Structure 1
Amino acid sequence: MGLLYIVPTPIGNLLDITYRSINILKKVDFIITENIKHTLILLNHFSIVNKLLSLNTINEKKKTNQYINILKNGNNIAIVSKAGTPIINDPGYILVKYAYRNNIRVVPLPGACAAITALCAAGLKANQFCYEGFLPNKKKKCEKKIYSLRKENRTIILYESPKRLVHTIQLIKKNMGVTRKITIAREITKKWENIQKGTAEQLLLIINDDIYWKKGEITIIINGAKKNNKNIISSRILKIFNIIKKETSNTTAIKITKKICRLNKNVLYNKIIKKNIL
């Protein structure tokens, strides 16, 4: 039984490939690639000669069983995508799933990924995030998706086409508000890499008349929504409550404080009485 290696390739700068990745690509029996022509550029650069097999969104289902049989016959295979880490937004998921079904060992290698690389440089919280990939192509579905993410507290990572970038930023502004912080990264790791941070309004001023933002690969990082703090009792509310309770009972003080601060009575009761904040 052979091994299936998942081998990340550079997303721009060829020097970002690891020594281990080069070694694996040299020694495996076959390399499965999303784009043979593009992969040959990488292999030629590092003097790697190997047999290439195709796997893309069109032939994935048809080719998977064929490649599983090659692995079952004891051959080692490396899967690469056009750029970055395979499987993430690229073909290969079915192959990996079938490999596990057939007790074939899957060996993942660490490496380049546009989403993570852009996130590191976004200047936004990176301890919790969600990856949404490409937004739907149809305008209504695209806006619906952005609207559904408006209350997401985690940092949001999107991929976008440069042709739709302005429209997408406009939708973020419309559905998430004018103050939401956004970072856009273009052509990460390449010599014309460009990273801009600001509100939707600020970014639109930058990209609207810049022809360079009309091409290349774009990653959008959106700051998560602020958590709802309606249930938090502020020092101001406590001060109001303490002044009122000096002249009346706790129950009446809660009722009056509720009206003044427009809070739920149960919130005040749970926070002030139950927790003995007196």
Structure 2
Amino acid sequence: MIILGATPIGNLGDASARLRDALATAPVIAAEDTRTAKQLLRALGIDASATFVALHEHNEDAAAPALVERARDEDVLVLTDAGMPTVSDPGFRLVQTAVAAGVEVTCLPGPSAVLTALALSGLPTDRFAFDGFLPRKAGERDRLLAGLEREERTLVLFEAPHRLAESLEAIARAMPERRMAVCRELTKRFEEVRRGTAVELLPWAQGGVKGEIVLVIEGARPALTGTDAAVEQVLRLQAGGMRLKDAAAEVADATGHARNALYRAALTHPSS
């Protein structure tokens, strides 16, 4: 079968017992960087006799069919440099090929920068969207952020440290009031989480930041329904000095809502 092995994103102690067993016994290890994979084995004190095969973004399309055929007869352990294969890392096309060919795929779960940053952010975790790395080009980055501006789920993004300040400037333009967290060097000795708005975090980032970066951004507030918007309009008129009953009547005439319903909703609104 194909075995996806999640590797430590910083702390070697996060290597699971199942991963250690697989590293010691797998006959074939397909690695994003075979040198990095061998360094991991040495660091964990594992003496393996596996055949190492390179599997990275530049050769995955070509290498996947042969690896899948090989997995019909023997296990193929798939590793990336850190974290979960297929998540902004090689492995997806291999899994896709294996599924199409009817070859079994399993996973050894473990470290994930996405989930670790989300948990540490202090932002809602019940619904979130992961969007990979922010585009390197400013125009593409601005277009992506504009498209995400109304996304109500918590956003998780990767960024390179040397582009962090530039990206925070872009986030500040697109989502100036949105809370966020910048998570750096997760699980490593100098792990750091900075929280605030992009505007508040920008001076720190402009001073120079090193290490692996994950951004977690608060989702947009849910859009008001037609009735909610009408009630808000009634309350604004009331705040401007109009009697509540008159404000409800005016908004009802303009929007087609029932004036009594608007009056009762405005009367019981938390801000009233």
| TM-score normalised by L of structure 2 | 0.86
Corresponding residue number in structure 2 for 1:203: 201
Matches within 5 A, 1:55-66: 55-66=55-66
Q: What is the CA-CA distance between 1:244 and the residue it aligns to?
A: 2.7
In 2, Cα distance between equivalents of 1:115 and 1:226: 22
Q: Which amino acid aligns with 2:8?
A: P
Question: Alpha-carbon deviations, 1:148-175, whole Å to 9, x = none?
Answer: 1111111000000111100100000011
Give the stretch that moved more between structures: 102-111 or 120-129.
102-111
In 2, Cα distance between equivalents of 1:43 and 1:271: 68
Q: What is the CA-CA distance between 1:14 and the residue it aligns to?
A: 0.7
Corresponding residue number in structure 1 for 2:192: 194
In 2, Cα distance between equivalents of 1:121 and 1:267: 44
Is 1:30 matched with 2:31?
no
Structure-2 change in CA distance of 1:107 and 1:256 (3 Å): same
In 1, Cα distance between equivalents of 2:183 and 2:149: 21
2:221 aligns with one of 226, 232, 257: 226
In 2, Cα distance between equivalents of 1:68 and 1:75: 10
SS in 1 for 2:256: helix
| TM-score normalised by L of structure 1 | 0.85
Corresponding residue number in structure 1 for 2:53: 53
In 1, Cα distance between equivalents of 2:261 and 2:112: 45
Is 1:255 matched with 2:249?
yes
Matches within 5 A, 1:93-172: 93-172=92-171
Structure-2 change in CA distance of 1:254 and 1:114 (3 Å): same
Unaligned runs of 5+ in 1: 246-252
Question: Alpha-carbon deviations, 1:21-41, whole Å to 9, x = none?
Answer: 111222221111001111111
Taking only the aligned residue pairs, the percentage that are identical comes to 28
- Structure 1 consecutive aligned stretches of length 4 or more whose deviation exceeds 3 Å: 240-243, 266-273
Given that 1:4 and 1:107 are in contact with CA atoms closer than 8 Å, whether structure 2 keeps it comes out as yes
Unaligned runs of 5+ in 2: none
Question: Alpha-carbon deviations, 1:26-84, whole Å to 9, x = none?
Answer: 22211110011111111112214122111011111111111112112x11111011100
Give the stretch that moved more between structures: 225-234 or 191-200.
225-234
Q: How many residues align?
A: 259
SS in 1 for 2:162: coil
Given that 1:255 and 1:265 are in contact with CA atoms closer than 8 Å, whether structure 2 keeps it comes out as no
Given that 1:254 and 1:265 are in contact with CA atoms closer than 8 Å, whether structure 2 keeps it comes out as no
SS in 2 for 1:147: helix
SS in 2 for 1:67: helix
Structure-2 change in CA distance of 1:244 and 1:58 (3 Å): closer
RMSD of aligned residue pairs (Cα, Å): 2.8
SS in 2 for 1:163: helix
In 2, Cα distance between equivalents of 1:257 and 1:183: 40
Given that 2:2 and 2:68 are in contact with CA atoms closer than 8 Å, whether structure 1 keeps it comes out as no
Question: Alpha-carbon deviations, 1:82-108, whole Å to 9, x = none?
Answer: 100001011111111111122111111
